[in-house]
Amino acid sequence: MTQPYGSHSKVIGYILWIFGFLGSHRFYFGRPISGTIYFFTLGLFLIGWIVDLFLIPSLDESADARFSIGEKDYTVSWILLTFLGIFGIHRFYLGKWVSGLIWMLTGGLFLFGVLYDLWTLNTQIDEVNRGVE
């Protein structure tokens, strides 16, 4: 399935913004450093979280320019990671069967693998979509 408008979705970005004080929208748009900062500071003490309400269109545009559209959908991958990450379902979706099984048997590699995927999922999807592995 290819995305008709870009790699990421503003609508999903705004939905994730609701939980943005935990950095979720920042991780989704490929900003893991600020996502981590938001996670530990509750969205920079909620001020950054409120400012991001207006920045989401530019975050989406930046992500669309940075990440390749292809067979694997970014939104589907992020939903799978968010809700089923410890079971590795997002890794199965990306065709990474061995690590998917490892995640499934070890609770997302003892949660450290899930944290790794929060930081790198956009890059992983981009590599699959460009055929780089």
**Tell me: the pLDDT tens digits for 43-76?**
999 999 999 999 999 999 999 999 999 999 999 9
Q: Token pair for residue 102?
A: 């490892």
Q: Please tell me the pTM assigned to this model.
A: 0.89
Computed over its alpha carbons, how large is the radius of gyration of the chain? 14
Instruction: Name the nearest CA neighbour of 85 among 110, 114, 109.
Output: 114
**Tell me: the pLDDT tens digits for 64-115?**
999 999 999 999 999 999 999 999 999 999 999 999 999 999 999 999 999 9
Please state, in angstroms and rounded to a whole number, the distance separating the CA atoms of residues 85 and 103. Answer: 8
- Burial readout 83-93 (b: 16 or more C-beta within 10 A, e: otherwise): ebbbbbbbbbb
**Tell me: the pLDDT tens digits for 1-36?**
445 579 999 999 999 999 888 899 999 999 999 999
